[in-house]
Structure 1
Amino acid sequence: MSSAPSSEIPVIDIGPFGDGDGPGAAAVAAAFDRACRDLGFVVVVGHGVPQAAIDAAHRSSRAFFDLELAQRDRYAAPPGGFVGYRGLGAEGLSYSLDQETVPDFKEAFTVGRIERGDEPYFTSEIGRMYMPDLSWPTEVPEFAATWTELYRHMDRVAWRLMRVFAAALALPLGFFDDKVDRNISCLRAINYPHQSTPAQPNQLRAGAHTDYGSLTLLSMEDAPGGLEVQRADGSWVPVRVPSDAFVMNVADLMAQWTNDQWRSSMHRVANPPPDANGNTRRQSLVFFHQPNYDAEVIPLASCCGPDTPPKYARTTSGEHLFMKMTKAKNINV
């Protein structure tokens, strides 16, 4: 495990944590606590996901975005939906800033929870809303298999990280287990096309925003123009990681659980510099970990006190997600 100055993103090896019973569990938890109180971003190594699985999902995603637009549009997300394909100009991430902006210069394909049971939690109207049917691009034969494998791996890593979070917050190790065992997470591929002409004024590949759920895991390609995180002083820190590492960031629900002791930081994806050479296309795979839709989120007692009263009212993961998605749809969509 290694750490960096607070102005940079710390690198933490989660291998020694195990499932909470590893020889380095306490040290890993302490490192995460420091990082989550600072920028809320960590470069995660030792996660155990085979590089072959990551590479295969990237290849199949790239093959999908290489299809003709008419083929991609066959898998367009339904009106008001989040699963499926969303083309260039379909999204703007201004909802985190409560201001209008031009659409992001990106396209994306998203799937929700891969494995669903036949009990009412999954089959009810509300369950179907948060876990809609999947529609795999058949033009890319390996797509479904590679994404299913990566989703399972990412779900497992997120479960371990929620145990790291519990240890870091001095909670029982399994505190979050029953809040994420039927999570409504999604896996998304984002393609940032080559910018052969300058972007519109104030247009970014992804505008400044925070994420919705408990945590986000990101696998990204190294290409000009990339992820940047906002420091407390308003300046931006570029994030660059090796292909075998994930970027993890604290998302809004975890910030609410900790009464903002942990930071859900603004981040964005910058445009390539004007003098960038060659193809500036960039691709990311993102796992948005969202707790069970009925998981209750209330600021933890240990994160509140006479001088730090609760900042947030009770909510659930599903209610919070619905509110955020509704807000996003009302701006530049």
Structure 2
Amino acid sequence: MRMTSVPVIDIAPFLGGTPEGKRDVADQVRRACEEIGFFLIKGHGVDQQMIDATYQSAADFFQLPLEEKLKIRQPSTEIARGYTPFKGENLSSGMGAAGGADLKEILDFGPMTVPQDDYHKGGEAGGFFHDNIFPERPETFRADMTAYYKRMNALADDLMRIFANALDLPEDFFTDKLDRNISALRVICYPEQHETPEPGQLRGGAHTDYGTLTILMSDRSAGGLQARHRDGYWVDVTIEPGTYVINLGDLMQIWTNDRWVSTLHRVVNPPAELAETSRRHSVVFFHQPNYDAVITALPNRGQEDATPNYAPVTYKDHWTGKWNASRGKM
């Protein structure tokens, strides 16, 4: 039977800590990760007022005049900070696919509190802990994004504990790979389309995410997210009130030796009759491990002798290759 929507999983029983609740949630997550790598969560405990304030700040920023947004433009293609104007990224090229530039504008942030030591500021760190670049307006923008980033990092830690349980690993298995993480927060505007897109051009080209998992908040306007099922067809991912969209990144597919799937997904254009009135915003938290974490296939229960499908790779090398491709640098 074809999947018509992604699973909705209440993670409150896991967060509540009962053995039965943890096992039930972990089992639901495992099934979703094996089949499509996408699911919605509720019972996550994130305050709705924080969600609303963050979303409003993001929407208000994108309403500013272009010349004001360009004051905080991304300083270089190697630094994932600041504003990238409309058509400044092509996600499908990160997969080696042809296609026009994505029909969106974006603003990127990284860790909000960074120690001044060699690990975080030395040469090996590159731009992973570069200072964030905040706009002057909206006035609450910096405070909203800082608080939201920290809350999403905590939620991601909860989800990684669920993942460990789902994989029959110690609950703290991933902790030492995430304690100096380089996770990213991105706010996105998919503006109204006053011109017909080029053939194959989308709001967000088909791609996989780079890290461990992604936590997405978005509105329900026309022209939304789709995920490709393992059987090859596309499934609409529809936000429900009070939920987050969760999807796996590449690292979980590598760690599980393809047992779990980092799903190809895209953001499609609105129908032609709605193109000039459909504006969409998203706030996305990309959970990513320490830059020097080595990602290699883990033994799966019953498959301890399976041949790894991937060579070990540091997250720094994995991220750099995909990021540069998305910005037209090979």
Shared fold (TM-score greater than 0.5)?
yes
TM range (shorter): over 0.9
1:52 corresponds in structure 2 to: 49
For 1:46, give the aligned amino acid: G
1:126 corresponds in structure 2 to: 124
Q: Which runs of 5+ in 2 are unaligned?
A: none
Q: 1:213 aligns with which of 203, 211, 214?
A: 211
Contact 1:57–1:146 under 8 Å retained in 2: yes
1:252 corresponds in structure 2 to: 250
Q: Offset at 1:304?
A: 8.1
- Give distance in 2, aligned partners of 1:314 and 1:232: 24
Q: Offset at 1:96?
A: 4.2
For 1:325, give the aligned amino acid: W
Contact 2:217–2:283 under 8 Å retained in 1: yes
2:170 corresponds in structure 1 to: 172
Q: Deviations over 1:212-271 (max 9, x none)?
A: 000001000110110001123322111111242110001101110000100111100010
Q: Deviations over 1:51-83 (max 9, x none)?
A: 111111111111111111011001111222221
Contact 1:261–1:303 under 8 Å retained in 2: no
- Give distance in 2, aligned partners of 1:289 and 1:296: 16
1:107 corresponds in structure 2 to: 105
1:159 corresponds in structure 2 to: 157
Q: Offset at 1:275?
A: 2.4
1:33 corresponds in structure 2 to: 30
Percent identity of the aligned residues?
40
SS of the residue 2:127 aligns to = helix
Q: More deviation in 287-296 or 298-307?
A: 298-307
Q: Offset at 1:117?
A: 1.6
1:186 corresponds in structure 2 to: 184
* 1:283 and 2:281 matched: yes
- Give distance in 2, aligned partners of 1:202 and 1:5: 25
Correspondences of 1:77-156 after superposition (within 5 Å): 77-80=74-77, 81-156=79-154
Q: Offset at 1:278?
A: 7.0
Q: Which runs of 5+ in 1 are unaligned?
A: none
Contact 1:221–1:243 under 8 Å retained in 2: no
Contact 1:229–1:236 under 8 Å retained in 2: yes
For 2:150, give the aligned amino acid: R
Contact 2:193–2:276 under 8 Å retained in 1: no
TM-score (norm 2): 0.94
Contact 1:19–1:163 under 8 Å retained in 2: no
Q: More deviation in 232-241 or 187-196?
A: 232-241
Q: Offset at 1:308?
A: 3.8
TM-score (norm 1): 0.94
Structure 1 residue ranges, 4+ long, deviating more than 6 angstroms after superposition: none
Contact 1:39–1:231 under 8 Å retained in 2: yes
Correspondences of 1:300-315 after superposition (within 5 Å): 300-302=298-300, 305=303, 308-315=306-313
